[in-house]
Structure 1
């Protein structure tokens, strides 16, 4: 029982700060500025479900998939980091008139089309989250060989992460009402800049790991 509790706590402590659903709520609002509250509610539910299954797949089979295709984790970091940079940059460059155009052209059936990309991947579950989930899964497989108790504990931790995403995104509009339009604009712009910086850091981590591996082979 203690081992299961430790696994749940490890998943939460490792993934929650990286996924950061509270910090991602301004991005969610920025990307869904023209959606109705009902559409946003459905979208937040879909993102939470997508995030759960993506993290589960990454945790349990991610290392095997990468090994099968011969893809290293640094390569995933480089590619994912570039996507994060592009997403943050597009949010930074988004103008007010473009936001107005989105509000007038979005149709009720449109939101779910964007539920996985880019709202789940990479805005919610990005390269850093995937890297962390891969590491946790590889560590669990190495030490416990996926014991049923360990599997159940990991699933509980991932469910809790998904619930936190659902709650933060579901009530993101309440946060916007408290902060006001100016406050949300400031947070969104600042968060967009930080997202670009995070993408640069993730990309650099991957590049540095690749350089180090080349250096080791040459040495």
Structure 2
């Protein structure tokens, strides 16, 4: 049981870290908060993480019930989200600049009263990919302790994101554009592999369910 929980934690952590991609969020955060003090940056980063936890936990606990209400099976959702995550990974690998542009907010997003929620929490930290991932790893068939492992993974990933955002300017200076793109490509390759497994599992489970119901 311990090994199974550890495997769930590792899968959730790896997928969420790649999908949320704190490394990609870092330079965007730096540009949005370039006129703020270090203390204010930390406050904004913490608030963004808190909002993100709320969004992800909502979909983690309620999202699958919504799918059931709509008549969508978890297997079909797993395959569909696997395809979406693959597209994200493909874009990260072959054109990392486009992924940066996709997460870069418009001119109205810099309003100081809502920057922690939009665009930092949604869509940068708790975007569609993260929501899909948490719904997959916290499916209706998972036990409470397994959900706890997934929640722990969310907390650690967002804690890392807060630390990286707090030191955004320094990290950006050290890595540079080339370094950021290189890391983004590596994460994109890993995301494509994980998402392909999601598609395979969704199709396999769907076929088995159809065969059992026949």
Where on the TM-score scale, by shorter chain, does this alignment land: which range? Answer: 0.5 to 0.7
On the 8 A contact 1:63/1:134 being kept in 2, the answer is yes
Q: How many residues align?
A: 196
1:56 aligns with 2:61: no
2:162 to 166, 189, 210: 166
On the 8 A contact 1:75/1:206 being kept in 2, the answer is yes
TM-score (norm. length: structure 2): 0.63
Number of the residue aligned with 2:128:
122
Bigger Rg, structure 1 or 2: 1
The structural deviation recorded for 1:131 is 1.6
On the 8 A contact 1:82/1:203 being kept in 2, the answer is yes
On the 8 A contact 1:12/1:157 being kept in 2, the answer is yes
Q: How does 1:1-219 map to 2 (within 5 A)?
A: 15-20=12-17, 24-29=21-26, 34-37=31-34, 38=36, 44-45=45-46, 47-91=48-92, 92-95=94-97, 108-109=110-111, 113-114=118-119, 115-117=121-123, 119-123=125-129, 125-134=130-139, 138-140=142-144, 157=152, 160-161=155-156, 162-218=158-214
On the 8 A contact 1:88/1:192 being kept in 2, the answer is yes
TM-score (norm. length: structure 1): 0.62
On the 8 A contact 2:56/2:126 being kept in 1, the answer is no
The structural deviation recorded for 1:30 is 6.4
Structure 1 residue runs of 5 or longer lacking an equivalent are 1-8, 142-150
On the 8 A contact 1:55/1:133 being kept in 2, the answer is no
Whole-angstrom CA distance in 2 between matches of 1:66 and 1:45: 31
Distance 1:187 1:14, change over 3 A: closer
Distance 1:178 1:35, change over 3 A: same
The structural deviation recorded for 1:28 is 1.8
Q: Secondary structure of the residue that 1:71 maps to in structure 2?
A: coil
- Give a deviation string over 1:83-132, Cα, whole Å, max 9, x none: 22233333432559x96xx7997863496544423541235x25333222
On the 8 A contact 1:77/1:203 being kept in 2, the answer is yes
On the 8 A contact 1:58/1:133 being kept in 2, the answer is no
Whole-angstrom CA distance in 2 between matches of 1:72 and 1:84: 18
